[in-house]
Amino acid sequence: MMNAWLYIGLFLVIALALPAAAIFISYILGPKKPDPVKRSVYECGIETVGETWVQFKAQYYIFGLIFLVFDVETVFLYPWAAAYNQLTLFMVLEAVLFILILVGGLLYAWRKGALEWV
């Protein structure tokens, strides 16, 4: 089994190295003529005004939080699903209870308007 992980490690190294090498080759091959106008930040063709930060909507954070809760829930469910063929009906119903409790949470979020984009 360690062979498989070793392969993954090797593959990740290669997968990172190949695009990096390609970009490096392209960097060598391309012309290099830096110019203050070329290097200015793109803002629909107008000059930048003010610092570069954005007014961050809290809604992004709420989506991230709900995603986190459901992600952890699903991580709990994966071992159960892998063992599904060897489980009794009672154990399956336990997990269904687990899922339904979280559906309750989702419904609460829905009713409270946490799932709206605005």
Partner 1 sequence: MSAAQVLFILVSTVTLFSAVMVVSVRRMMHAALWLIVSLLGVAVLFVLLQAGFFAMVQVLIYIGAISILIIFAVMLTRQVMSEKIPQLNRGWVAGLVAAGGLMIILAFVFRDFPGSLATTMGDPSAGDVVTLGKALADPNGFAIPFELASILLVAALIGTIYIAMERKGGEQ
Partner 2 sequence: MDFWTDPYLFLVNWLHGLLVGWGLPDAIASFILMFAGAFVLAMGAMLFVLGLIWFERKLVGRFQDRFGPNRVGPWGIIQPLADMLKIFTKEHITPAGVDPLPYNLGPVLAVAAVLAIWAVLPFTISLVGADLDVSVLYVVAIGGLGEIAVVLSGWGSNNKYALLAAFRSVAQLLSYEVPLVIALLVPVMLSGSLSLNQIVREQGVWYIVLAPVAAFIFFIASIAEVGRSPFDLTEAESELVAGFNIEYSGLKFGMFYVADFLHAFTISLLFAVLFLGGWRGPYAEQYPLLGLVYFMLKAGAVYFINIWMRASFPRFRIDQMMGISWKLLTPLAIGAVILTAVIDKLLPGGELLPYGDYVRVGVMLGANLVLVVIAGALMALQKRKHMLQEFPIAASKGFTVRDVSVNRGTK
Contact residues: partner 1, CB under 8 A? 1-2, 5, 9, 53-54, 56, 58-62, 64-69, 71-73, 75-76, 78-84, 86-87, 90-92, 94-95, 97-98, 101-102, 104-105, 108-109, 112-114
CB 79 within 8 A of CB 98: no
Cα–Cα distance for residue pair 82/71, rounded to 1 Å: 17
3-state DSSP call for residue 59?
helix
Query: Angle, nearest 10°, between helix axes 58-82 and 89-112?
Result: 170
Q: Which does 25 bind (CB under 5 to 8 A by kind): partner 1, partner 2, none?
A: partner 2
CB atoms within 10 A of CB 95: 15
State phi, psi for 49 to the nearest 5 degrees. Answer: -120, 125
Which residues of the shown chain bind partner 2 in the complex (CB under 8 A)? 1, 3-8, 10-12, 14-16, 18-20, 22-23, 25-27, 29-34, 38-44, 52-54, 56, 60, 63-64, 66-67, 70-71, 74, 77-78, 81-89, 92-93, 95-96, 99-100, 103, 106, 110, 115-118
Q: Which does 32 bind (CB under 5 to 8 A by kind): partner 1, partner 2, none?
A: partner 2
| CA distance from start to end of the chain | 48
Q: How far is the CB of 32 from partner 2 (least distance, A)?
A: 7
